[in-house]
Amino acid sequence: QVQLVESGGGLVQAGGSLRLSCAASGTIFSINAMGWYRHGAGKQRELVASITSGGTTTYEDSVKGRFTISRDNAKNTVYLQMNSLKPEDTAVYYCNADVITVTRLRRDTWGQGTQVTVSS
């Protein structure tokens, strides 16, 4: 079994910052890409940012220059530093990881989600 546990969400004023963390645990052999998705009210789920095991990153256009994704491979943890937050960033943020288990099975794994609310 593989689990992703997220932390760091909360309520912040516009212009503020939050840092999300997501730690993977369980029967992990390796982790390929890790990423953060968000699902806002009345919106479709979207990919916010992703990072490969080698550190290559991609970002959704609206967060470029404001959000930074990073990972610590030794800790199987991915982070999302969110600066200059806007009310439209309000959403439930989900961590995702492409995990290879110790039995060499591939698992698309999701966290439970953490709420980010940005007040105007």
Token digits for 63? 């967060």
The pLDDT-based confidence of 6 (bands split at 50, 70, 90) is very high
Evaluated on CA atoms 9, 13, 14, 15, the torsion sign reads negative
- Predicted pLDDT of residue 14: 98
- Nearest-angstrom CA–CA distance, 29 and 110: 17
Of 32, 29, 10, nearest to 21 by C-alpha is: 10
Q: What is the pLDDT of residues 70-84, one digit of tens each?
A: 999 999 999 999 999
- Nearest-angstrom CA–CA distance, 109 and 26: 11
**DSSP notation for 35-56:** EEEEE-TTS--EEEEEE-TT--
Q: What is the pLDDT of residues 21-73, one digit of tens each?
A: 999 999 999 999 999 999 999 999 999 999 999 999 999 999 999 999 999 99
- Predicted pLDDT of residue 119: 98
